[in-house]
Structure 1
Amino acid sequence: MPRILFAVIASIIILLSCSENKTNDLLYQKPSEEVLDQYSTYLSDERNFQDSTYLPFFYNRYYQLITENKIDSAAQVVFWAGKTISRNYKYNAAFERLTLDFVSKYGSQIPKRYYSGIYTNIGNTYCDNGKFDSCAYYLNKGLVEPEDYYTYQNIATLNYNLIFAYLNTGKLEHSLKSAFDGLEMFEKQNDSTFQAATYSGIACIYRYQDDYPEAEKYENKGFEIVKQTKDTNVLLVVSLNKISLYSQMDHPNLYPFIDSTMNVYRQWSKKTEEKTLSIKSWYAFKLVRENKLAEAKKILDNIKPLTLSMSDYTTLDYYYNAATEYDLKAGKPSEEVDFYIGKIPEFKENEDYLRLVLFNQILHDDALVKGDYKAAREYLAAQKIAQDSLSNRNLRIKVKELDKKYQTEKKEQQIALQEKEITQKNTFIALLIMSLVGILAAIVAYYLWQRQKTLKQEKEVSMNFTKQLLESTEEERKRIAGDLHDSISHELLALKTTLSQDIKVVSSKIDTIINDIRGISRNLHPVMFDKIGLIPNIEQLIERIQNQNNFFISTELNYSGSLSSANELQIYRVIQEALSNIIKYANAHAAKITIEEQASRILVEIKDNGKGFNVKEAITSGKAFGLHNIIERSRVIGGEAQINSSAEGTVITINIPTKI
């Protein structure tokens, strides 16, 4: 018997190991070239985007597939059209509305590869238009657990794009984490092109902290890698980042590097409008610095029409920077000053600190040319504020602390003034105090009585909770023992009797044992929780509950991972307990889970449309272990649970304060 058991366990380990290796192959090794149908082939070819029939072609095919309820195929054409539009930096409001409506209606039916890819396209569109908070929100919605190479590639790309979504709003720690998460994934897929681009992104993070040595180190890493890939497009992306760094550093190799980048561009056969505008803008900038104003003006006039159809903010920055440099060198006010002034409120609203720094610098220089020193000083101060917001969030906290201290001192002065007035009216107040003493004594006595009563109730509740917790633990042990005895033990005995039979029967038995073990393990603890985080685990839990109970659950999850894994697990257990109670007792038709991450707190809400119950009566009954479980887990993570119920349903709200 021990030998048979050992052999079975060894077989299970081998099968699990093979399964793990197969999973790694699926994620890291690119499969044979993907074969697309004629519609997706057309939509994925960027050259076709210039055709006026491109979008009508997409809409016709999309609505045909929706009518035929072919959601997988519809997701494919939405993904490829969105990717092409994003790559061409052509924002289209109608297409964006259609895309958001599509994932909202059919998100649970869309293959992960296209689900993550569609959210990548949406996020990129918002980034290109300078709406970086929205960009980060939609990119995070696309972070799913990858099951194949292309989904894994999408998640890696999402992390790369999150570098700049977070960077532009001053969330440097989040930006750096996304960078290294993406870098690790690109390394596993041996994607040298994106490794290089990610190193360049990390350089940008350090650059905007004014840590130039560290920025140059990562920029050089990326540049050396991309030179080996022979991918000219990414080489130019990395080169443009390196030019920006050299410009900020006033590096002696700035002009030679601009020249070498221009030479690479001239030999490139696949020139795009975006690269043309970017590289020629820097070349014109160099010419201005070399006092070749006529030649610079000719280039600027030649590329200016490209700005009219360009939505990518970074590319436009390159042009306006060069154009303003020309105006200042020519000794005249900037022709684009109204553009800069008009964009400042938008950048403040979007917390786009990068461009607030750049634009305030440009407006400062323009004000100096005009001799408006007051305005120049104001723009310089605004630039400093934006730079502090970007590179030193701790400074912002200190400013708030100083402001709080100032407000405290101000209140103390007001109190001193009030005390002086009180002294002048001491006779009246003395009489008033005497009349209030009796009332206060009665209030204190009543409060102490109520407090004692509450403490007694809380003690009883705590004792009941502990008793139920022990009983629940024993029940869980009993259930696990039963599962092991009734399923694993039974299957092993059955396997023993079938070892002499067909190998397919034995294999089937082993598969059953593996599935039973995985089921027991999953019931004990979500195995991948620490790796994939809170949101994907909630989505898997919901999918499992919906499939098992034919019960509809909707979600609205806006959470970027600011809590520790241990605290996230407590939230997961609260939601798990709440859904279990709803299904067992509420007679509800549907439920909704909401997680809203705000500046100073995280709100978790679980709502159902069931029959409701008397909350106070249930909690004090000594039988509501599930409700006490929710309340206690909320307290463990520093939160507070509020439970409200009526005939229209029940709402559980958990308010979790967070640090700035």
Structure 2
Amino acid sequence: MRITRKLLLQNITLVILILYIIVGCNPKHNAHIAQTGEASQLEHFNLAINEIDKGKEELSQKAKHLMQLYLQAPLEMRPAIYKLVFTKLFYLAYAHPDSSVLDFYKQQSLENSQFPLVTIEALFRVSSYNLFIKQEADSGMVSLVKVKKYFPQFNDTLYKNYYALYAQTMLQKGNLKEAANYYIKTIALAEKINDSSSIISNFGNLAVVYSQMNEDTKSIPLTVKCLNYFTAHKDSSSIFIGDVSLGRAYYTLKKVDSSFIYYNKALQLIDAGVHNPSVAFILYSNLGEIYSDSGDMKKSVYYYDLCKQPLKEMGSEEQYRIFTIYATKAYAHIRDVKKGVEEIKANIPVFEKDSDLINVRASYSSLSEIAFIKHQPADALRYYKLFDSVDNILSDNANKRYIADLQTKYETQRKEVKIQIQEKELTKKAAFNKLLILLLMMLGIGTAFIITRNRLMRKRKEAIMQQQFTTGLLAKTEEERGRIARDLHDGLSQELLLLKNQVNLGAKIEPQKIDHIINEVRTISRNIHPVMLDQIGFKESILSICNQITDSEQLFIAADIEYHSELSKEKELQLFRIIQEALNNIIKYASAQAAKVQIAKMHKYLKVLIQDNGKGFDVEAALNGRTAFGLLSILERSKAINGKASITSDSKGTIVNIEIPLSYG
């Protein structure tokens, strides 16, 4: 993933949000004003607002005067002008971040109980400010939670705006599936109310989702469609973002000539006066990267130097960290970059804490290339191995599978909207309704038959698997008893007999010999029951076996465990055995270089994921084979703790997913 993908997508979705969150003033209230003879006063305020907007003052002064004008307006006038004022304030705050605008929005969300529409819009704006200006998804979500109590007063337009902000929150959190679902809901409502700007805007949102999935061939046509819309409306700020977006997408696809066409257009817009520090930073850093890849370090350093001014204006620590990763690599060709290298190393734990493996991978890649440039081959190889380990974890297969599902869901949603619009007409056709009911009854009978047959087949298969597991368990139990007996007889018994003879002969007993016997006893005991579960707890036990495997250089394991004793001790033991079995299978059969163990609480479930990048296998064939005890053990132990386990595998690796409902204790 390129340096600026995340930052660019945030700017694209900002333009898309502004396009359809701007709605005209409340017509009912305006009519009321006209009827009471206050139309001239409304016209006065509208003229004053536009005069401030077109003035030559600094942006912060414009914002201050707009807020003062709004607060001076009579209370009954505010519902007629709030959207115009709120929208212009948002544009000003985005171009020149101003916390007083956020404070103003918060104040209006509290002081307008008699005007719920003003309160709703103010909460939307608080969320927008946090999402697009401060780029704080959690803060943006707080306002969306507050606005839920007004749902009974929502119409399709308000729901559409809510869905758009919720989708943006999910996008910033990296939950692409949830973001896409809410973008599709927004498209459905936009089509229902014939809101063409929202429809085109959400094509852009789907393009954002595709870009996040590294599917630029699918995102480009949608982005072009949005760019054509912006061009037709002569929206230079949005055209600037669209040009930079297409330039980056084409470069990702190695179409350098097409990439430069759009980058040059963007540079011309800057010369023409378009000011957007965030997107300018993206443009300059993309060009710095292009020239660095082509070996033109003079131009690369030139554009990375240009990044510093917009980066200073934005003041985002995240953007600075990402800039350091890529710019330091270019500067390494012309000067000492020890400080930059130390910053990259210091930022890796920050990325790991945020589970941002993409930038962890980029950091190791940059460190490897810098070491190579500085003629440090040992460091270059060491960092490359770390890069390769993380890179193997980051597979795009799940996203690619979801692309098809996403397109299908979008088409299905469109059909559902058309059915909803035509529903009144369909109800008038009694004959059609009778036929439809008959077909549904037939479909229900057929579905019931299929479900019953599948249920019987599934139970039969489960019975066979249970029998195989029981047989395997008995065999494993006897095998384990035999192993313990051999360990006691051949090892521990012989050692004790030798020690007894030495005592009888009066020989000196070495303490190391006694320590060796004690360690053997501990090893046998640990194999029978993991004592460390009782001593250090479940989470530390899992981390311990992951570290042991990594330290032995058998396998690199990344562990991300959020666990706070949600399960009983008995279930912890079963889950420990499941993870232990899965890791043993990876070591024995997968030929993997890296794996990860992830445990997190999701709603009312504890979710466990064990993933590797090995050669994979045929899961169904393995479960039906004679050596499936390990896999059956994972499935059956999961059932024993009321959990549900699934195993998927292909040539890119294997994933074991387990969901354990917490309501069971």
Q: What is the TM-score when the length of structure 1 is the normalising length?
A: 0.45
Q: What is the TM-score when the length of structure 2 is the normalising length?
A: 0.45
